[in-house]
Amino acid sequence: MYQELKRVHEWNIADTVTAMRIGASFLLLFLSLDTIGFLVVYTFAGLTDVLDGWLARKTGCTSEFGARMDSIADLLFYGILLIRLFPVLYQILPGEIWYAVSVIVAVRFASYAAAAVRYHRFASLHTWMNKLTGAAVFLLPYVLFSKSCVVYSWTVCILAFAASAEELTIHLLKADYIPDRKSFMQN
């Protein structure tokens, strides 16, 4: 027989907020990038990403289901953004920036590989640099059609490289895996 689950998941406010991000993500497929409507829905989706985890912790309703639903919502949101933003960014940004992005991706994958070898698991850290990079990447659509897009994109690349290099260094030099390690300086 099937083992009975110890706890049946009950739908909660955090799940509702995550579901709203999924809906908002699909809506982004149909909105023009250069409109206020796109930015409003995009901002809403980003806020739900921050809010759902906070609500789950505050209301005591964290769950494996909620964590998985959040990951699915994140993949959907970022996948749709990649589909929508990449063609525009490819036209706007100079070729050199794509070389920089390639280096950043290589360092990030090296970090994941080092963690897999060292800790025998997929490991990603919640460092301040990773959070700052995530915020900077999130703000990219707000400057997408401005004169400062290229300069801003180079700034994001510098932050992303620093974050990736820090994470790689942590995985190579720190003895233990602490997902919430905030920086290399933390023990």
pLDDT reported for residue 162: 97
In angstroms, rounded to a whole number, what is the distance separating the alpha carbons of residues 184 and 187? 8
User: What 3-state DSSP class applies to 139?
Assistant: helix
pLDDT tens, 7-53?
677 899 999 999 999 999 999 999 999 999 999 999 999 999 989 98
**3-state SS class at 88:** helix
Rama region for 28: left / alpha / beta (φ>0; ψ in -120 to 50; rest): alpha
Q: Does pTM surpass 0.85?
A: no
Containing 145, the helix (H) or strand (E) segment is none
Q: Provide CB contacts within 8 A for 112, sequence distance 6+.
A: 122, 123, 124
For residue 187, pLDDT over 80 is answered with: no
pLDDT at 66: 86
Q: Each residue of 45-103: pLDDT tens digit?
A: 999 998 998 999 899 988 888 888 988 998 899 999 999 999 999 999 999 999 999 99
